[in-house]
Amino acid sequence: MSVAPQVDVTPRRYHLKKQITAPRSEKNLRQDRFSQNPVPSRISSQKVEKLSARAQQPPIWLRTLLLLHYSSSVLTACLIAAILTVYALTVYAPQRWSREYKKLMNLQRDERHLTAANESLKNQLAQQAERSDTGLVNSNPTNAIFLPPAPVPAPVTPLVSSTNPTTAESKLPVATVPLAY
């Protein structure tokens, strides 16, 4: 769109043909006059009036259409941005998923390897232990020590003696079992 102010102000362009008769050099002059104070025109057939600010505004239907146009353009821009983001995700997410899936398969395989190896080792150790030259014997009751569960100690009670008031020690609480820390 050229910078020079143009006569076209509506979506439809109007090209003035009839100004062929007017001198070409005055074309610009004439257009300047649109924005300035009205100057009597050289072409008598024309009459240029100042545009009132109010009248300069486009009609309501045009305004709403323009507003709609503007808002839908903004909406379209946002949607385009969103589309691009989602598209990027649709490319990135499956890649990530495939990577993680491969990792999962590998981990599962490794787990199986480890289990098999661990158990084979256990079996080998047990077989080696069974052989008599290793000096290991089967556990049997003669080797085992069974401990009876210890009785829970009775709570410590202070010695209270009412029969012998003369002894001073009996007034103080005396522990019957040593307290161990």
Rule CB under 8 A: is residue 27 a binding residue for another protein? no
Rule CB under 8 A: is residue 72 a binding residue for another protein? no
Residue with tokens 């050289």: 42
Q: Say how many C-beta atoms besides its own lie within 10 A of residue 30's C-beta.
A: 20
Quote the least distance from Cβ 87 to another protein, whole Å: 14
What are the structure tokens assigned to 116, written together?
């098999």
Rule CB under 8 A: is residue 120 a binding residue for another protein? yes
Q: Say how many C-beta atoms besides its own lie within 10 A of residue 19's C-beta.
A: 15
Rule CB under 8 A: is residue 130 a binding residue for another protein? yes
3-class DSSP assignment, residue 39: coil
Interface residue with another protein among 27, 42, 103, 122 (CB under 8 A) is 122
Tell me the longest C-alpha to C-alpha distance in the chain.
Answer: 147
C-beta of residue 7 within 8 angstroms of C-beta of residue 16: yes
**What residues line the site for another protein (CB under 8 A)?**
1, 5, 8-11, 13-18, 35, 46-49, 51, 55-56, 58, 66, 69, 73, 93-95, 97-98, 101, 104, 109, 112-113, 115-116, 118-120, 122-123, 126, 130, 138-144, 146
